[in-house]
Amino acid sequence: MNNRVLIAYATNAGSTAEVAATIGETLGARGLALDVKPIQDRPQLDDYQAVLIGSAIHRGHWLPEAIDFVKANQAALNHMPVALFCVHIQNTGSDETSRQRRVAYLNEVRLLLQPIDEGFFAGRFNRRGAMLLLPGWLARLVPNIDLRNWETIRAWATSVSPLLQLA
């Protein structure tokens, strides 16, 4: 094992990939050696000391491939620092109901491992990606929306950075 960090992500329409890349840029600027890889590439954990795993949210849950990645690597993940992040267009609102809804996105994952930290980020909705998820006529009615707050994403990456480093 070396001193590298893996950022593995599952995305529907690319927004989570962009968030993962920004987290990677932020951690890299802080001196961490890292790789940012899509979960669909089935990254191996042998070369990493810590892992960040992120997923888009679909119908209130992580994408199935993200859950499958955690299940397939559960033993290894439970022996290293792991932080989780979620990207969803409705990751907004500071009221208690909104907070509880966000926290519930990770309930299934928390049954498998104990993350050192969790990040919840608002996402992006675009018609091109929506065509994959919604009937075409409905997707055309929804405007393009980007609620991602890059400052919040970078601040979370900065705050989690020391937790990922082992002595």
CATH number of residue 132's parent domain: 3.40.50.360
Q: Is the pLDDT of residue 120 over 50?
A: yes
CA angle 141/146/30 to nearest 5° reads: 160
User: Is there a contact between 11 and 41 (Cβ–Cβ < 8 Å)?
Assistant: no
Q: Is residue 66 part of a domain?
A: yes
Q: Is residue 165 part of a domain?
A: no
User: Is there a contact between 14 and 42 (Cβ–Cβ < 8 Å)?
Assistant: no
pTM as predicted: 0.87
Q: Is residue 19 part of a domain?
A: yes
H or E element: which one contains 125?
Answer: strand 124-125
* Total number of domains in the chain: 1
Q: Is residue 134 part of a domain?
A: yes
Q: Is residue 137 part of a domain?
A: yes
Higher pLDDT, 85 or 137: 85
Higher pLDDT, 6 or 166: 6
Least trusted range by pLDDT, from 41-45, 69-73, 119-123, 143-147: 143-147
Candidates 155, 142, 144; CA nearest to 19 is: 155
Q: Is residue 166 part of a domain?
A: no
Model confidence band, residue 167 (pLDDT cutoffs 50, 70, 90) = very low
User: Is there a contact between 38 and 11 (Cβ–Cβ < 8 Å)?
Assistant: yes
Determine the structural domain holding residue 117 and report its residue range. 4-160
